[in-house]
Structure 1
Amino acid sequence: MPARCTTRVCYVVRCCTMSSHYFVQRSVTTRNGIHNIGCTPAATLKSKLSNRLKDEDTVRSVEVKVEEEEARISLQRPSTAPPTAGLLQGTTHPKSETVTVPLSSHSRRRKQLKVEYDEDDGVKPVKAEHWEPPDWKKQLGFIREMRSSHDAPVDKMGAEKCYDSEAPAHARRFQVLVSLMLSSQTKDQVTAAAMVKLRAHGCTAENLLATDDDTLGKLIYPVGFWRTKVKYLKQTSAILQKEFRGDIPDSVEGLVRLPGVGPKMAHLAMDIAWDQVSGIGVDTHVHRISNRLGWLRKPTKNPEETRKALEEWLPRELWSEINWLLVGFGQQVCHPVSPLCSVCLNQHSCPSAFKNSPKKRTKAGSSQSPSPTSSFKTKTEVKQESVEAVRTKTEALCAPLSPAKQKKKPKRKVKL
């Protein structure tokens, strides 16, 4: 039972500082202004201890639930903020415990991600812009029409006509390659005549190796650079006889390794000998006409650049035909010097029309081009003017010295 203390004893007790946490001081103010100070009894301490233990158990149970909730959320998706911020706000922990919180995206170093697109998602890669000449189909149709007669030299004496159709397959392919090597900077008529003599001599790799240089030179003369081509034929025949048993390689890479064989010859040999389209055979005719017609994105300087530029836009099914078309067209109409633009069907769409062969001036009010008859009359008039000038000079020299001795002389007629 608690006992009341006197005023003096309470004063002494208040002056003493008690270090135990089981005693709590409490002051009460009365009407008389006297402060009655009492001490907490033992029963009150026991009740407080029990209440505090209950609070600690409640807090620990809450912490356990919070930790379980954090584990479940971290397994599902990481959070940038700690989940216990709102649950434990305002609660006091008797003992601090370490809580693992996932790092935010700002505290990590960002990694570069490679973005890939699946074909099933409907995302198509961006293709480069396809360029092609504006009127090339119309111009190609006109060239086909002008080449419909098949009467150009390439039609009768090209590489497709120079081999022996009755020879074995490997011998035919070898003759195609030889005719292409001889055709460099040489007209088809000269190449065809040389191939006739070589076939009569025996145009195989084995026979050419057994033939001396002088005899071989006489057989291929007068092709362009015939001395150099004799050397190339002997070297190429030795390689083919040793590595391919007299046949030719079946790839562009293998053909260009041979002496005297370039990309144009390799692509044509693949087309004619092996019946495989590996590229466009571009010679001087194809190179010249492609630049004149504006079939290239920008002008090219050599046939190899022209080949690459044409293959960028020309459909592959036309690669084999384009060489035959343009070579014959260049031999008959689009000449290197003074092309026949007046008879070309592409004179209205070709950007180079009448630039290499200037169009003659016509009379005022006439929009038609001069005909062959009018050009012949012009030449005749020029000759007559020159004859009149000669006649005037002759009369001046034959004039008399004095008027008294002047006699009439018949005019001389100058025969044309």
Structure 2
Amino acid sequence: DTSRSPPNWEEMYDLVLQNRRSIPAPVDTMGCASLHDPNAPEIDQRFHTLVSLMLSSQTKDTITAPTVRNLQTTLPGGLTVASILATPPQILNNLISKVGFHKRKTEYILATAKILREEYNGDIPDTLEGLMKLPGVGPKMAHLCMTAAWGKTMGIGVDVHVHRICNLWGWVKNTKTPEDTRIQLEKWLPREKWAEINWLLVGFGQTVCLPRGRKCGECPLSNGLCRAAFK
């Protein structure tokens, strides 16, 4: 329903897209969509994507990426459902100790691997509902996983950057949670942009529109398009 869309959103989107293409961001090479081992079997690549997302919660890409690489290179046979299940919890916890909430994530990953082996023949679920039933997987992770692992975009993956920037720009109306932002955004943003907007705004939030110390002087929207510029 484009009648709900904010003014000038297309111009803003295109300017930020140009900016993103010219300024590299951590998400471009260390985001969860790019951490699977392309030489691994596809079933394992999908598991890499899911584990990457589980590790990434409240953790910077620059920490998540080397942690995933560590699992891929250290575990016997690489990062697979079987290798995770064969790893004692304390060893797994040590391998992922640099990410936030690593003890809880150790429990989630082990419990998830068990579910995948018992209920999905070692693969990951191919539905949002199935993914969200896994321990520690919420809507954001499920949507991003569907796009990155299965190539099916069922909705927008809204993380803290997308949530924050959409509120700054007035693209959503004072939403309190990322899930509220997703619901409002999906009402007007054309579906063909749903997969891209996470990459777009996460990278923009990492390089220009920072959580603290926004670089409004370097922003292509500071000419009056962004209502929050220099405030």
Q: TM-score, normalising length from structure 1?
A: 0.54
Aligned to 1:235: 111
Q: Which has the larger radius of gyration?
A: 1
Aligned equivalent of 1:295: 171
1:377-408 Cα distance to aligned partner (Å, 9 max, x none) = xxxxxxxxxxxxxxxxxxxxxxxxxxxxxxxx
SS of residue paired to 1:273:
helix
Q: Aligned-pair distance for 1:224?
A: 0.4
1:111 aligned residue? none
Structural mapping, 1:60-71, within 5 Å: none
Partner secondary structure for residue 67 of structure 2: helix
Of the candidates 198, 201, 205, which is equivalent to residue 330 of structure 1?
Answer: 205
Q: Which residue of 2 aligns with 1:244?
A: 120
The one of 266, 270, 274 aligned to 2:146: 270
Q: Does 1:211 align with 2:71?
A: no
Task: Report the counterpart of residue 171 of structure 1 in structure 2.
Answer: 44
Corresponding residue of 1:154 = 27
Would the aligned equivalents of 2:52 and 2:64 in 1 still touch at CA under 8 Å? yes
- 1:129 deviation in Å? 8.4
Task: Letter of the 2:112 partner, please give it.
Answer: T
Structure 1 residues not aligned, in runs of 5+: 1-127, 356-416
Alignment partner, residue 132 of structure 1: 5
Alignment of 1:64-213 (within 5 A): 130-149=3-22, 151-200=24-73, 201=75, 202-213=78-89
In 1, the alpha carbon distance for the partners of 2:91 and 2:141 equals 25
Distance across 1 between alignment mates of 2:218 and 2:165: 16
1:145 shift after superposition? 1.3
1:254 maps to 2:130: yes
Deviation digits for residues 43-76 of structure 1 (CA, Å, limit 9, x no counterpart): xxxxxxxxxxxxxxxxxxxxxxxxxxxxxxxxxx
What are the superposed Cα offsets for residues 196-239 of structure 1, whole Å, 9 maximum, x if unpaired?
A: 11001121111111101111011112100000000000100000
Q: Which amino acid aligns with 1:315?
A: P
Q: Is the 8 A contact 2:2 2:189 kept in 1?
A: no
Deviations 1:244-275 (A, max 9, x none): 11100000000000001010110111101100
Question: CA–CA distance in 2 between the matches of 1:350 and 1:191?
Answer: 31
Structure ranking higher on relative contact order (CA contacts 8 Å, 6+ apart): 2
* C-alpha contact 2:143 2:155 (8 A) present in aligned 1: yes
> Which has more helix, going by share of residues?
2
Query: What do you get for the CA RMSD once the two structures are aligned?
Result: 1.1
Aligned partners of 2:2 and 2:188 also within 8 Å: no
Counterpart CA distance in 1 for 2:2 and 2:132 is: 32
The AA in structure 2 aligned to 1:161 is S
Gap runs ≥5 in structure 2: none
Instruction: State the identity %.
Output: 52
State the Cα distance separating 1:130 from its structure 2 match.
Answer: 2.5
Pairs aligned (count): 227
Structure 2 Cα separation of the partners of residues 352 and 268 of structure 1: 28
Following TM superposition, the consecutive aligned residue runs of length 4 or more in structure 1 with deviations greater than 4 angstroms are none
Shift of 1:155: 0.4
2:95 is equivalent to residue 222 of structure 1: no
Deviation at 1:150, TM superposition (A): 5.2
Deviation string 1:278-315 (CA, Å, 9 cap, x unpaired) is 0000000000000011111x210010000000000000
Separation in 2, partners of 1:345, 1:151: 16
What one-letter code is carried by the residue in structure 1 that aligns with 2:15? F
Q: Among residues 193, 215, 226, which one is paired with 1:350 in the alignment?
A: 226
Q: Which residue does the alignment assign to 1:319?
A: 194
CA–CA distance in 2 between the matches of 1:153 and 1:140? 20
